[in-house]
Amino acid sequence: MADLPLNSSSDASHQSSTEHPSLEHFWMPFTANRQFKANPRLLTKAEGMYYTDIDGNKVLDATAGLWCCNAGHGRKEISEAVSKQIKEMDYAPSFQMGHPIAFELAERLVELSPEGLNKVFFTNSGSESVDTALKMALCYHRANGQASRTRFIGREMGYHGVGFGGISVGGLSNNRKAFSGQLLQGVDHLPHTLDIQNAAFTRGLSHFGAEKAEVLEQLVTLHGAENIAAVIVEPMSGSAGVILPPQGYLKRLREITKKHGILLIFDEVITAFGRVGAAFASQRWGVIPDIITTAKAINNGAIPMGAVFVQDFIHDTCMQGSNELIEFFHGYTYSGHPVAAAAALATLSIYENEQLFERSFELERYFEDAVHSLKGLPNVIDIRNTGLVAGIQFSPNAQGAGKRGYGVFEHCFRHGTLVRATGDIIAMSPPLIVDKREIDQMVNSLSDAINAVG
């Protein structure tokens, strides 16, 4: 795949029908802007399992966009639902007004959610879902007569988006350190559960590390349960490079939080809607939290949308415990946006009709065998997987941390496969419509890249 010169719309040698835009004005998120703009990767179309880049090259999507497009790309059912809704009613507020489609979506969503999580609050992103969940936890304890419960406990290497709440409970130092003077007060972190020394190349959940949940008891002793509002963790950390919970770990967090009246929040922005072989990771691993945050695959990434699922008792306490007319002073202009809701309803129908959550579970073993075939290639120090997600970790090269991972990502892209690099870890999370041939293609592409990059 050719490198693109900047502003190259006059370059007649390109096969592209799309003009190359000026790259000057868009300050790109979580991107090495200077490097990207010198050597851009521009996608212009998407259909099924493939993107097409600006030069007309096909790129196999091994990342479902950014963990979003679980039903694959270009789904007519979704675009038709969006088009119909935008013609019928483009926008309507959800503050002191309502529209049927948002209520209909909430009802459809709770048919999928774990038992007891029967209330849904709409947001526009994972970051907003996390901030909403943290605020709900505070609202609940206050309404429950325990206003001293204000502390949060996150986890090292956790990613909870980029709001000040999310980076405070999150545990990725690059996302925190530039803002460290203004993070939320009263936040502690549990240890992360990555354990390459004992658990490298484990298929599925490891036997090592459930005891790391016991640190929560120490934090309770240190601060007093009466001061702790909630624990927030991703059941499986995606952004930090696919870090799985050890067997029994989530169950233990649940037991300790319940014992001390602390709310347990699962951030399922990546894992919800089929990624780990069930609608929610909570169901896959049999642990039901008090609040679940979601976004991304809720509507296949078509229109920004997120949703927070809440246990009835939290909602009911907030309703009953408030003296104000408005019980929860929180919300977004676009909460329950009708067009995003239409996209979500169409997406949920695809998931159901095509049994994509079941498919994710059924393909797990094939995917697992395929990714674990990379064991033994140069510098591969760990491979982790569950459902249709895998992380392949490399030792850093002499140029510094992350350089080898970036090299593999770049090689894959230039040879027609989109994977995701987080430092020296490559993550793969294909759309759930992926077939065995495409899994082989992804893994071959990765194998070639690992050998080439060395």
User: Which residues lie near ligand PLP (CB under 6 A)?
Assistant: 125-127, 130, 159-161, 234, 238-239, 267, 269-270, 295
CB of 290 to ligand PLP, least distance (A): 17
CB of 91 to ligand PLP, least distance (A): 20
Q: Which is nearer to ligand PLP, 40 or 301 (CB)?
A: 301
Q: Which is nearer to ligand PLP, 220 or 272 (CB)?
A: 272
End-to-end CA distance of the chain: 20
CB of 313 to ligand PLP, least distance (A): 24
Q: Which is nearer to ligand PLP, 405 or 449 (CB)?
A: 405
Q: Which is nearer to ligand PLP, 155 or 160 (CB)?
A: 160
CB atoms within 10 A of CB 150: 17
CB of 160 to ligand PLP, least distance (A): 5
Whether 307 and 120 have beta carbons less than 8 Å apart is answered as yes
Which residue in the shown chain puts its C-beta closest to ligand PLP?
A: 126
Q: Which is nearer to ligand PLP, 142 or 296 (CB)?
A: 296
CB of 451 to ligand PLP, least distance (A): 30
**DSSP-derived secondary structure letter, 124:** S
Q: What torsion, rounded to 10 degrees, do the Cα atoms 248, 250, 254, 257 define?
A: 120
For residue 180 the two structure tokens come to 């460290």
Whether 210 and 254 have beta carbons less than 8 Å apart is answered as no
Whether 16 and 45 have beta carbons less than 8 Å apart is answered as no
Q: What is the DSSP string of 297-366?
A: GGGTTSS--EEEEE-HHHHHHHHHT--SSSS-----TTTT-HHHHHHHHHHHHHHHHTTHHHHHHHTHHH
CB of 332 to ligand PLP, least distance (A): 12
Q: Which is nearer to ligand PLP, 43 or 200 (CB)?
A: 43
CB atoms within 10 A of CB 73: 22
Q: What is the DSSP string of 168-225?
A: HH---HHHHGGGGGGSPSSEEEEPP---HHHHTT-SSS-SS-GGGGGHHHHHHHHH-G
Q: Which is nearer to ligand PLP, 127 or 441 (CB)?
A: 127
CB of 314 to ligand PLP, least distance (A): 19
CB atoms within 10 A of CB 124: 18
